[in-house]
Amino acid sequence: MRFIGYLILLAAIGYGLWPYYSVYRLDDAISLQDKGQLAEMLDLRAIRANYKQRIAAGVKDVLPAEDPNSVMGWLRQNIDRLGDTALEQAITVDWARQTLRDAVTRATGQTPPYLLAAVDYAFFESFDRFLIRIGELGRGAAHVRLGLVDGKWKITDIIP
């Protein structure tokens, strides 16, 4: 019985350390010229969906919901359609790498950027979500959210 308890404790400790290893891998990935390692760590579909959600919330404030057959309704529909295409073109592996590098440089002033020196906070939001804050809170900090996707910790949102 004691052996099973030790195994459970060991598994819990391993699970708790797992995303921190991903942060270490992310540090290597943003400093390398090769984009392959970073591409493995990104869930671009989730990042684009999160950006689309934030943009849609902003559009609702600017263009209130009205009759879909009105001019305002037509504008909103076209912004939604054009927004998807624009996000696919704008949010790429290169964009993610540059955004992360800029956030680290802003937080530490170091070039080349060293992510581990810039991380001010890194902890679980839930069992399958992990938040990293690059820089000090209230001073233009960037947030990187990792999610457990297909058994791997991947970046699901970047808020510069």
Which is higher by pLDDT, 11 or 113? 11
Q: Which amino acid does the sequence have at 66?
A: E
pLDDT digits (tens, 9 = 90+) for 90-103: 899 999 999 999 99
Q: Are 118 and 104 in contact (CB under 8 A)?
A: yes
Report how far residue 32's alpha carbon sits from residue 151's, in angstroms, rounded to the nearest whole number: 24
Mean pLDDT of 42-52: 92
Q: Are 155 and 96 in contact (CB under 8 A)?
A: yes
Is the entire prediction scored with pTM above 0.95? no
